Structure 1
């Protein structure tokens, strides 16, 4: 028994050598920063509008900027990873994030602020695609636990940015630029593991995945790929409308800016326990249809309650139900690996769905700003969200079925 225990311990040490632990640390710290540049904006949107002298429509552009960046950069990330490697790509993206956060916290010019915000969002855009690919490459037998870990880290970062930004702004005498700039610190810390990781580690020998070509061609012929794009786009549209406009919606319901910031923090914080459970459960099942329909139903019940906002109880119930439905995000991240057979397929599906999905989602925050400014009411914006949730449920039925991307592509297009 002692010899067996020794062999088991040795096998576990071989499974995760120090270099791979460094990769895990780097993934978690990078994920912590993927949403801070986004969720730090919503609680201070009114102050930013005043400081930059912008309209509600221009605020819509600001809330749309994240998805535009994600769409533009997500599609090229696999090519960048093939050309320069995981370490260089993520390290460069985090460096761009640091630069953007510094610049946008020190200017009052709208064009410069938008450009700096785009740079700050580059890390999130690249990480969205690169991290699932890295998990598939180095941890193919731990997709559930690793997706749980980094999606939880992402949720923690989003919650902290939503919760802390307004108190920092108030403690600094109303300095909204300083409140946005503090998020440069965790971004700098996230760069450290990738600086220490001088060369890419080799995946553990017992976790080898099937051999794959350098790239997957003809992905546009896959029905699964298109349904993943639509599903991811619907999820992202709802998410970024909430990230950008939830504090303003709550202000119109009579809450203060600090209370609205807390509500956004609670909204993002609820996704933490959801992120701990969803990927692991999803990885254990051949299909995830029941899980998807359960989560999407939270949108269909929660959004009308938030829309009505008749009293505090109804508003909070709607907020909680909608936040639970946001658990579809870690589910989508898990599906990128579960619906593919190789790291190359994961990268191709992730890039295709995220770049196109974020492009589709980019309409949401901007359209909400235009609709609200035109009507002075949240009725049409919430109607848009409810229609999006219904489309999401339809597309989600396909994405959670027992399919694999590579099986839908003819042999001549998969190599």
Structure 2
């Protein structure tokens, strides 16, 4: 009897050990999905009811642009604190806290009052800001050998979530008694679900780290020289510029594309569905571009391809009126999905370590989102000044030129710092991966 107990214990331990990676992998994927879905609901949900918000509070184009620009400014300002929070508390608990902040900000939008709507939107934007920076870092830590595929999944979810919110909010508004406030507040629910999923993953990951430390003897880590490659500063600024200008394009279309088509005579439902089609189309390139990028030594031609696609779509929005609304929006979606996913995957491909990826992600998103915030505001100002959408769309299309230049420079092969044994991982890793 005394011998059977250890055997039974070993069998149970073996079963638990074999199940642990599978369970951890499912939890990791679930958390990434929940996080990705939540990161753009705040923006897309308001875009399709901008006219109702404007009429309710008597807002002008510049004030409406403030509603869409304020959160993007928060994305830039909040991104700068992400590395410090991640160093102090680790990335997963911080990401869970971000989802809680986002849920709070989304819920506040259900309370009547223009200042409360703006404050709730800004609070939610701060939560999204830090989570944005941590997204590529979590992919690197949890899926070091699936960076391309998982970056594509995260990007696709980010892209489609804005369109889902834009398409669903008008019918939800009618279902709750024509109250756009309640409809906006209901988007706190997905953020709360994301908080639970990421918090569970953070707890599981923390226990795994403790077990690993208990079972692994302390061995001093080899030092890695902090070498900086020639041209690193230029590449860093190119990645920042690519991130910022593609974000400018994305937030300008989130803020104004449904309004453009409503001003051209389409209903709120159809305008919202057109933007939803843009978001769904972006899934194709969001999934495919990162996988292709990780297999290429240089991503320069790939960058030019996604920029050319976005440019073609914008020209369609500018010149085809309502009859070309659907195909133009879909082509813009192809370009946007590819540009965002390429920006995110470049942060990992050009970084030698997880710490370097965190720093690059924070810098690119801090400057990039502050640049992106000028897009919705500038389009609003130009619309007010010209009483039309042609000049704002021409100006937005012109930004594709510097986007292409940044893409060519950022797509040059190499890393910013000292190379490691595996460009997709770390040697040694900053955190043991949960799933690969």
The 5 A counterparts of 1:346-361 are: 346-361=357-372
The 5 A counterparts of 1:374-393 are: 374-393=385-404
After superposition, give the CA deviation of every residue in 1:294-317 in whole Å (9 maximum; x if it has no partner).
Answer: 1111122221221123451x3333
Local SS of the residue matching 1:373: helix
Write the distance in 1 (CA, Å) between the matches of 2:226 and 2:22: 28
Residue 139 of structure 1 is aligned with which of 124, 136, 143? 143
- Matched with 2:347 is 336
Matched, 1:102 2:120: no
Write the distance in 1 (CA, Å) between the matches of 2:27 and 2:264: 46
Q: So what's the TM-score if we normalise by structure 1? A: 0.88
The 5 A counterparts of 1:111-150 are: 111-150=115-154
Write the distance in 2 (CA, Å) between the matches of 1:127 and 1:343: 16
User: Across the two proteins, how many residue pairs are aligned to each other?
Assistant: 393
- Matched with 1:411 is none
Query: Contact 1:44 / 1:176 at 8 angstroms: preserved in 2?
Result: yes
- Matched with 2:175 is 171
Report the CA distance between 1:56 and its aligned residue.
1.0
- Matched with 1:6 is none
Residue 258 of structure 1 is aligned with which of 255, 269, 291? 269
Matched, 1:319 2:323: no
Contiguous gaps of at least 5 residues in structure 2: 1-14, 214-220, 420-436
- Matched with 2:161 is 157
With over 3 angstroms needed to count, the CA separation of the structure-2 counterparts of 1:216 and 1:49, relative to structure 1, is: farther
Local SS of the residue matching 1:406: coil
Local SS of the residue matching 1:107: coil
The 5 A counterparts of 1:272-351 are: 272-312=283-323, 314-326=324-336, 327-351=338-362
After superposition, give the CA deviation of every residue in 1:237-296 in whole Å (9 maximum; x if it has no partner).
Answer: 111000000011111222111110111111111112222211111111111122211111
Write the distance in 2 (CA, Å) between the matches of 1:219 and 1:88: 36
With over 3 angstroms needed to count, the CA separation of the structure-2 counterparts of 1:96 and 1:285, relative to structure 1, is: same
After superposition, give the CA deviation of every residue in 1:113-156 in whole Å (9 maximum; x if it has no partner).
Answer: 21111111233212211011122123221101211222222233
Tell me which moved more, 280-289 or 238-247.
280-289
Report the CA distance between 1:87 and its aligned residue.
2.6
- Matched with 1:404 is 415
Matched, 1:247 2:258: yes
Report the CA distance between 1:407 and its aligned residue.
5.0
Query: Contact 2:109 / 2:120 at 8 angstroms: preserved in 1?
Result: yes
Report the CA distance between 1:168 and its aligned residue.
0.4
Write the distance in 2 (CA, Å) between the matches of 1:127 and 1:252: 34
With over 3 angstroms needed to count, the CA separation of the structure-2 counterparts of 1:311 and 1:154, relative to structure 1, is: closer
Query: Contact 2:228 / 2:417 at 8 angstroms: preserved in 1?
Result: no
Write the distance in 2 (CA, Å) between the matches of 1:13 and 1:328: 39
- Matched with 1:27 is 32
Local SS of the residue matching 2:59: coil
Local SS of the residue matching 1:40: helix
With over 3 angstroms needed to count, the CA separation of the structure-2 counterparts of 1:211 and 1:322, relative to structure 1, is: farther
Query: Contact 2:242 / 2:403 at 8 angstroms: preserved in 1?
Result: yes
With over 3 angstroms needed to count, the CA separation of the structure-2 counterparts of 1:379 and 1:28, relative to structure 1, is: same
Local SS of the residue matching 1:377: coil
Local SS of the residue matching 1:180: helix
The 5 A counterparts of 1:55-74 are: 55-74=60-79
The 5 A counterparts of 1:46-85 are: 46-85=51-90
Write the distance in 1 (CA, Å) between the matches of 2:188 and 2:222: 39
Write the distance in 2 (CA, Å) between the matches of 1:219 and 1:103: 48
- Matched with 2:6 is none
Write the distance in 2 (CA, Å) between the matches of 1:51 and 1:211: 62
After superposition, give the CA deviation of every residue in 1:181-201 in whole Å (9 maximum; x if it has no partner).
Answer: 111111111111233242534
